[in-house]
Chains A and B, each alone.
Chain A
Amino acid sequence: MAGLDELYREVILDHYRNPRRKGTLSGDHVHAEGNNPSCGDEFFLDLLVEDGVVVDAAMLGQGCSISQASGSMMMDAIVGQSVDDIQDLAGKFRIMMTIDEGENPVDEERPGSVLGDLEALQGVRKFPVRIKCADLAWTTLAQALDQTAS
């Protein structure tokens, strides 16, 4: 039960039920689509990047609380940030989601100030099969950013 409390934190359920920046962008933007074929979860992302800064973003998704909350939190975290800072954040998120009980114990102080709400996803690490749910939005983001780089 302790594990479940850590997994389904209030803030995760809030993002699941009230996803931020739900919708699509009109006008110029890049678009990326991610899905987990094994479970059917989907995440569609529109990004508007100007002068190396994500100035607007919108998402549409469908799936479990973890995949959708992770996406919603990511939206909050990236809009207004430079692509460089976002790459940095994505790296920190990846580290947080890596299971490595030795160097990266679940309860140790995390770079929480940077990750904000996203830190609530730490509990997912105790449920390894669900890590791919938390990752979905982020792999979609990486695809979108790749397009802006080219």
Chain B
Amino acid sequence: MSDLRALRADFPILSREVNGKPLVYLDSAATTQKPQSVLDAMNSYYENSNANVHRGAHTLAVEATDLYESARTKVAAFIGTSPSQLAFTRGTTTAINHIAYGWGLHHLSEGDKILLTIMEHHANIVPWQLVAKYTGAELVYLDLDDDFGVDTSELDKVLDERVKIVSFSGMSNVTGALGPIDVLSKAAASVGAISVLDAAQLVPHTNVDVEALGVDFLAFSSHKMLGPTGIGALWGRADRLEEMEPAEGGGEMINVVERHASTWAPVPHKFEAGTPPIAEAVGFGAAVDYLSAVGMDNVVAHERSITAYALDRLSEVPDLTIYGPKDVSKRGGAVSFELGDIHPHDIATILDQDGIAVRAGHHCARPLMKYLEIPATARASFYLYNVPEEVDLLVESLHKARGIFGLV
């Protein structure tokens, strides 16, 4: 196992206790913990350089603008693109809404189709439902195959010129399954549709070279990759960003404002109305610095080995069912499971007494839960700071839960 154990010291929260036990944080798919360097960068921004960005002539405004724009450069470089193609947003959800309102509303009409997969997060469903409602377009879903992957074998049946948008996840936050990026981006291009990649789980956990993925748009969140909440990014192909309307208007995103009409600032600023989350951008930049210093190849290797270990250990627990691929080359580190008839919320409560943080519920993917015919799952998810002993504690606590519920 590529040993990143020493990194744990960089995360202050990992040394706290919960219910008298050392914290075992297994909820990184929901949000990740932050290293000291991210906290320091944000603090230092407020202590030394706080000012509003752009068009300010004073020293602090220049410093704040430089910090904000250099964060953009760092985040763009992290996914292999140029800062001119990366707009800061509030997160993945907002980025997808920008595409829905800025592109979808203007390019779809009655009878058009938006193709999704059944494993999508609500963030990649509800914005398209709104587009469908306003334009008369229709949502179409791809189901899953036997191994929790998206079933693309019936793609021909749903793919035609009426499909204008294909939007899908690169990695499920429920099953951990990787999305068929290559197949779906090519399928979209073949009918002249745009492809949108929900990379909320992908960018934090894989090495992404966005220009090579073949998609038109990509969305991700800082808080799922060691950065602060309140910021994320929208990447788009240069021509797509040009043809996209701003979904929000206000200060910062304009060129000239007249009484009755305005012109927009160039991409990407035309998508950043209002004062942006500056400290958060700085923190986001520090987070990608941290990940780059560790090396995404090391992060991937570490997560694969700890996920393999977790799948192995969990399969020893009687009555436990895993919902997701068993092959670690087809998945990331979000592991959903059920344990006999113990409801996931009861599992989460019992684990919490042992200081173990897992998530229970529908994980913002209700259509997927309905499709899998389960009301909820418990989910353990791993990141670079997790160690195998934490998996052992999880398994031990699950045995305890079986005892409490009298499963034998």
Q: Which of A5, A39, A127, A130 contacts B376 (CB 8 A)?
A: A39
B365-408 interface with A by 8 A CB criterion: 366, 369, 375-376, 404-406
Given known contacts A38-B361, A40-B361, A40-B375, A8 and B345 CB-to-CB distance under 8 angstroms: no
Of B33-41, B95-103, B265-273, B346-354, the one touching chain A: B346-354
Residues of A within 8 Å of B353, CB to CB, are 1, 3-4
B361 contacts A65, C-beta separation under 8 Å: no
Cα separation A66 to B405 with both chains bound (whole Å): 12
A64 contacts B404, C-beta separation under 8 Å: no
Given known contacts A17-B341, A63-B375, A39 and B361 CB-to-CB distance under 8 angstroms: yes
Interface flag for B343 (CB, 8 Å): yes
Give the residue name and chain of the A residue nearest to B342 (CB).
A65
A65 contacts B350, C-beta separation under 8 Å: no
Interface flag for A13 (CB, 8 Å): yes
A8 contacts B361, C-beta separation under 8 Å: no
B350 contacts A4, C-beta separation under 8 Å: yes
Given known contacts A3-B353, A8-B405, A64 and B346 CB-to-CB distance under 8 angstroms: yes
Cα separation A3 to B345 with both chains bound (whole Å): 16
Q: Which of B346, B366, B369 contacts A65 (CB 8 A)?
A: B346
Query: Shortest beta-carbon distance, B49 to chain A, in Å?
Result: 39
Query: Shortest beta-carbon distance, B117 to chain A, in Å?
Result: 21
Residues of B within 8 Å of A62, CB to CB, are 375
Interface flag for B164 (CB, 8 Å): no
Residue among A3, A17, A40 with the highest chain B CB neighbour number at 10 A: A40
B343 contacts A65, C-beta separation under 8 Å: yes
B361 contacts A4, C-beta separation under 8 Å: no
Interface flag for B72 (CB, 8 Å): no
Given known contacts A38-B361, A40-B362, A8 and B346 CB-to-CB distance under 8 angstroms: yes
Residues of A within 8 Å of B344, CB to CB, are 64
Interface flag for A145 (CB, 8 Å): no
Query: Shortest beta-carbon distance, B8 to chain A, in Å?
Result: 27
A133 contacts B345, C-beta separation under 8 Å: yes
Cα separation A39 to B375 with both chains bound (whole Å): 9
Q: Which of A4, A17, A64 contacts B345 (CB 8 A)?
A: A64
A46-69 interface with B by 8 A CB criterion: 62-66
Interface flag for A7 (CB, 8 Å): yes
Cα separation A92 to B1 with both chains bound (whole Å): 56
Which residues of A are in contact with B by a Cβ distance under 8 Å?
1, 3-5, 7-8, 13, 17, 38-41, 62-66, 127, 130, 133
Q: 16 A-B Cβ contacts within 8 A?
A: A4-B350, A8-B346, A8-B405, A38-B361, A39-B360, A39-B376, A40-B362, A40-B369, A40-B376, A62-B375, A64-B344, A64-B345, A65-B346, A66-B346, A127-B349, A130-B349
Which residues of B are in contact with A by a Cβ distance under 8 Å?
341-346, 349-350, 353, 360-362, 366, 369, 375-376, 404-406
